[in-house]
Amino acid sequence: MQAATIQRRIESLPTLSRSGKRVNGLHRLMRSPHLFEWAYEKVSRNKGALTPGVDGKTFDGMSLAKLADIARRVADGTYRFRPVRRVYIPKDNGKTRPLGIPTVEDRLVQEAVRILLEAIYEPVFLDESHGFRPRRSCHTALKSIKKTWTGCKWLVEVDVRGFFDNIDHDILLGLLKKRIDDDRFIALIEGMLKAGYMEDWVYGRTYSGTPQGGVVSPLLANIYLHELDQHMQTMKAGFDKGRDRRPFPRYAALERRVLSLRRKIERLRASGADRAEIDAALAEIKAINKERRKVPSVDPMDPNFKRLRYCRYADDFLIGIIGSKREACEIMVCVEQFLTETLKLTVSPEKSGVYAASKGVTFLSYRISTYTSYGAGRKSNRTGPDGRTWRVVRRPTTGNVSLRVPRKEVTAFCKRHDYGDLARKTGRPREQFLVTSDVATVLAYNSEFRGFANYHSFADDFKGALGLLELVVFRSLVKTLAMRHRTTRARTMARLWNGTDYEVSSVVRGKLRSIKLWRLKHLTQTYWTSPVVDNVTAGAWWVKSPNDLIDRL
C-alpha cells in the first residue's frame, strides 16, 4: 500500500468517526511499513528515545528493514508485545509513581496504533477535555475556567485513586469496539494491555491499567474517561435551568424610584418649576444610584437559575455549580456512583469534597477561587443612536474567577532545586554547578526558572507570587558563581552587570556570545496552547554530560 493511499485513508477516519459509523480496515493499515516510518519519526525525537526497555535496545541502529520486519510480523499476527520495564519516579508528595518503559519495537507499534486512534477519537472528544490532546494544554483548561465559570458558588472535587493502574481492560476494549469494527486491531491493543511488566527481573501480570510511560496510554485514558465527559454533558443538560436570574427585590425597588424621579423632573421642567426643586430631585437620584451600586442587580441565589460547569485534564477534573450546596453534594454523589459502578474506578474520599468557590481549590497547580470587587466600578464609553458619546460607571461584577499561584507550589519548587530559604530571602550555592562553565550554569538556572514561570504566567498574581522566588534564585546563582571563582558576591554581580541586565559571555568559534540571566521582566503574560507548557523543565540536563556545554559548541 502506497504512502499517499495510507495518508488519504487516515485523513478519511475523522469523517467516518463523526458520522457515527464503526471504522474497519485498521489492521490492514498496520501492515504498511510507511506507517511505522511515520511512527519512527515521532517517537525517535522524544526525550526518552535512548531509554532501553527489557531487551536493553535503543533506537540506535534502527533501519527501514527492521521497520518492514515489524510491519510483517504485525500483518501475519506473530508480533508479541514484551513486558515493560518498571521503574519508579518520585512524586511531589514524597511518594513514588510506577513507570513502564516499553521496548523500542513496542513503542513503534504503540505509536502506529496511536496515530490511527487519534484520527478516530480526536473529532469526537468534547471541548471539556484538555489533557494529552493536540493544541490543548493546562493553560487552555484554565482559560476556559477563567472565561466561563463566572458566578460559580460551589466547586466539586472528585479524586480518582490510581487511575492509570486501575483502568478495567474489559471496559476499555468494549468502549473501543463501539467505534472500531476490526477484531484483529482490538486484539493487538489487548495484547499490549496484558503484556505484563518486569521488576528486578521478576515478571508480573497486568490485570488492569495501562502502563504510565507507554506512547498510547494517555490516549487510551482519554477514551476511557470520554464516557465521564458524556455523562457530565447529560447531567449538565438536566441540571441547567433558567435563562436569566430574577431581579433583586431591593435593586428593583430603587430602580423604580429613580424612574419615578426622572418622570417628576420632566414634569417640573415642562411646567417651568423652580430650579431648586429640580436640583433636589437630581440629588436624590444621585444618592439612590450610589446606594443601588451596593446591592446586586439580580438575585445571586435564584433557585430558578442553575448552571453546571465541568473541566477535565487527564484524570483530574473540576466541577463548578451555580446553585445550592445540597445540589452540589448531589452532583458529587452522582459522579462518584458513575465512576465506581460504570467505570469500575476507586474514589478517594479524603481528597474529594464540595468547597465554597470563594474559598477556592487547587487545580492544575493553580489556586482557583471567586471574588467580588467592591470598588466604585470602572468607567466605560457609551454611544447613542445619534452618535453622541458619554461616560458611564459600570457596576462591579461578582463571582469573578481568580487564578493564583499557590504558595506551597513556589516553596516546593524552591526546595526541590535547593535554591535557598524563601522565608529568609537567602540563596544557597549549588555544588553540582561548581565544575561547569558560567554559561552552562546560567542556562541551567534560566531553564528551570523560566519553565516554572511560563507555566504560572496565566495567574493573576504571577509577578507578585514569583518575585520572592526570583530574588532567591538570583542570590543562589550569584553565590554559586562566586564560590566557583573564589571571589565575593559583590565582585561577581559587578562582573555580570552590563548596564541593563546581568549576563555571561563566552567566545564560541571566534565570536563573542552573551547569555542574559532570565528575569520576570522578560516574561509575557499569556497562555500556551502547546502541551509543552505542561512539562515544567527540569533544567541543567546538559551539566550531567562529561563534556561542558562550551566544549560541545
Task: Looking at the structure, tell me whether residues 339 and 237 fall in a common domain.
Answer: yes
Q: How far apart are CA 193 and CA 187, in angstroms?
A: 10
Number of structural domains (the chain) is 4
Task: Looking at the structure, tell me whether residues 71 and 176 fall in a common domain.
Answer: yes
What per-residue confidence (pLDDT) applies to 214? Answer: 85
What per-residue confidence (pLDDT) applies to 374? Answer: 67
Helices (H), 322-426: 325-337, 407-416
| Most confident stretch, 298-307, 308-317, 386-395 | 308-317
64 within a domain of the structure (yes/no): yes
Q: What is the mean pLDDT of residues 67-78?
A: 93
Q: What is the mean pLDDT of residues 502-523?
A: 87
73 within a domain of the structure (yes/no): yes
Task: Looking at the structure, tell me whether residues 235 and 258 fall in a common domain.
Answer: no
For residue 80, pLDDT over 70 is answered with yes
Q: What are phi and psi of 418, to 5 degrees?
A: 60, 45
For residue 292, pLDDT over 90 is answered with no
Task: Looking at the structure, tell me whether residues 436 and 483 fall in a common domain.
Answer: yes
What per-residue confidence (pLDDT) applies to 546? Answer: 47
Predicted TM-score (pTM) of this structure: 0.87
Q: Which pLDDT band holds residue 550 (cuts at 50, 70, 90)? A: very low
Which of 375, 404, 433 is where one domain is finished? 404
What per-residue confidence (pLDDT) applies to 106? Answer: 93
75 within a domain of the structure (yes/no): yes
What per-residue confidence (pLDDT) applies to 149? Answer: 95
Q: How far apart are CA 441 and CA 228, in angstroms?
A: 46
Q: What is the mean pLDDT of residues 305-324?
A: 95
Q: Which three cell numbers stand for residue 318?
A: 473540576
Q: Which pLDDT band holds residue 539 (cuts at 50, 70, 90)? A: low
3-state secondary structure of 244: coil
Q: In this predicted structure, which of 13-27, 73-87, 114-128, 537-551 has the lowest mean pLDDT?
A: 537-551
pLDDT in tens, 247-277: 999 999 999 999 999 999 999 999 888 889 9
Enclosing H/E stretch for 368: strand 366-371
Q: In this predicted structure, which of 470-474, 490-494, 545-549 has the lowest mean pLDDT?
A: 545-549
Range of the domain at 270: 249-294
Residue 233: CB atoms within 10 A of its CB come to: 13
Which of 294, 320, 352 is where one domain is finished? 294
CA 257 to chain centre: 49
* Mean pLDDT of all residues belonging to the chain: 89
What per-residue confidence (pLDDT) applies to 536? Answer: 59
Task: Looking at the structure, tell me whether residues 412 and 313 fall in a common domain.
Answer: no
Q: Which pLDDT band holds residue 204 (cuts at 50, 70, 90)? A: confident
Q: What is the mean pLDDT of residues 349-370?
A: 95
Residue identified by cell 427585590 is 249
- Picking from 14, 220, 223, the residue whose alpha carbon sits closest to that of residue 125 is 223
Using CA atoms, how far residue 496 sits from 437, 470, 481, in Å, is 14, 17, 10
pLDDT in tens, 163-199: 998 999 999 999 999 999 999 999 999 999 999 888 8
Task: Looking at the structure, tell me whether residues 196 and 66 fall in a common domain.
Answer: yes
* 31: DSSP letter: T
Task: Looking at the structure, tell me whether residues 56 and 202 fall in a common domain.
Answer: yes
What per-residue confidence (pLDDT) applies to 538? Answer: 57
End-to-end CA distance of the chain: 44
Q: How far apart are CA 372 and CA 401, in angstroms?
A: 9
Q: How far apart are CA 312 and CA 320, in angstroms?
A: 12
222 and 121 Cβ atoms separated by less than 8 Å:
yes
531 within a domain of the structure (yes/no): no
Task: Looking at the structure, tell me whether residues 52 and 63 fall in a common domain.
Answer: yes
42 and 111 Cβ atoms separated by less than 8 Å:
yes
For residue 435, pLDDT over 70 is answered with yes
User: What CATH number does residue 333 fall under?
Assistant: 3.30.70
Residues 248-285 as b/e (b if ≥16 CB within 10 A, e otherwise) read: beebeebbeeeeebeebbeebeeeeeeeeeeeebeeeb
536 within a domain of the structure (yes/no): no
542 within a domain of the structure (yes/no): no
9 and 3 Cβ atoms separated by less than 8 Å:
no
Q: How far apart are CA 291 and CA 368, in angstroms?
A: 31
pLDDT in tens, 387-413: 778 777 767 778 899 999 999 999 999
Task: Looking at the structure, tell me whether residues 49 and 79 fall in a common domain.
Answer: yes
CA atoms within 13 A on the CB side of 253: 5
CA atoms within 13 A on the CB side of 407: 2
- Picking from 337, 345, 372, 348, the residue whose alpha carbon sits closest to that of residue 358 is 372
Q: Which amino acid type is present at position 127? A: D
Q: What percent of the chain has pLDDT over 90?
A: 65
224 and 172 Cβ atoms separated by less than 8 Å:
yes
Q: What is the 3-state secondary structure (H, E, C) of 443-504?
A: HHHHHHHHHHHHHCCCCCCHHHHHHHHHHHHHHHHHHHHHHHHCCCHHHHHHHHECCCCEEE
Which of 262, 294, 326 is where one domain is finished? 294
113 within a domain of the structure (yes/no): yes
Based on the number of CB atoms within 10 Å of its own CB, is 40 exposed (0-12), middle (13-18) or buried (19 or more)? buried
Q: Which three cell numbers stand for residue 550?
A: 562550551
Task: Looking at the structure, tell me whether residues 259 and 389 fall in a common domain.
Answer: no
Answer with the residue of higher pLDDT: 544 or 39. Answer: 39
- Beta bridge partners, 514, equal 505
Task: Looking at the structure, tell me whether residues 31 and 50 fall in a common domain.
Answer: yes
Q: What is the mean pLDDT of residues 154-160?
A: 95
Residue identified by cell 513502564 is 100
What per-residue confidence (pLDDT) applies to 552? Answer: 47
Across the chain, how many H-helices and E-strands are there?
Answer: 17, 17
What per-residue confidence (pLDDT) applies to 378? Answer: 63
Q: What is the mean pLDDT of residues 130-150?
A: 93
Residue identified by cell 521496548 is 103
Length of the chain counted residue by residue: 553
514 within a domain of the structure (yes/no): yes
Task: Looking at the structure, tell me whether residues 236 and 318 fall in a common domain.
Answer: yes
